[in-house]
């Protein structure tokens, strides 16, 4: 990776997702994280938390893949909020909307949540 960075990118980590993905070992999620966190670009990295929480809330519907979720989210979230929204979704999934047993009883999003509405 270091050799490619020096040779093909003048020793500068690229800021575009497509270029980042050319680096060995860098997949779309990692490329989006770098673009978002390092360069503050409107890139949405979709990990397991973002994927699950988006689906439960109803931000996506029957998404089949992280890429599909990413495309849906960036379509509707204002560009300037995408880097923040990425962290909101991850932290919500890590501490409140847990995979096996979501903590709906302490969640502030029950009024907007498709999963919660279906449960009632």
Ramachandran class of 11: left when φ > 0, alpha when ψ lies in -120 to 50, beta otherwise: left
Q: Is 9 in the site for ligand SF4 (CB under 6 A)?
A: no
Contact between 107 and ligand SF4 per CB under 6 A: yes
In the complex, the smallest distance separating the C-beta of residue 93 from ligand SF4, rounded to whole angstroms, is 8
From 29, 101, 118, 119, active-site residue: 29
How far is it, in rounded angstroms, from Cα 92 to Cα 5? Answer: 35
Residue 31 or 113 having the CB closest to ligand SF4: 113
Size of the site for ligand SF4 (CB under 6 A): 13
Catalytic residue among 15, 47, 101, 119: 47
Comparison of 44 and 92: residue with beta carbon closer to ligand SF4: 92
Q: Is there binding between residue 102 and ligand SF4 (CB under 6 A)?
A: yes
Q: Does 51 bind ligand SF4 (CB under 6 A)?
A: no
Per CB under 6 A, 116 contacts ligand SF4: yes
Residue 47 among the catalytic residues: yes
């Amino acid at each position: 990776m270091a050799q490619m960075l020096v040779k093909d990118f003048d020793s500068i980590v690229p800021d575009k997702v497509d270029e980042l993905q050319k680096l060995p070992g860098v997949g779309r999620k990692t490329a989006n994280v770098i673009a978002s966190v390092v360069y503050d670009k409107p890139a949405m990295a979709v990990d397991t938390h973002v994927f699950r929480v988006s689906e439960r809330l109803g931000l996506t519907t029957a998404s089949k893949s992280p890429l599909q979720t990413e495309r849906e989210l960036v379509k509707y979230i204002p560009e300037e909020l995408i880097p923040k929204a990425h962290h909101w979704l991850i932290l919500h999934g890590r501490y409140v909307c847990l995979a096996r047993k979501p903590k709906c009883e302490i969640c502030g999003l029950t009024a907007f949540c498709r999963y919660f509405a279906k449960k009632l």
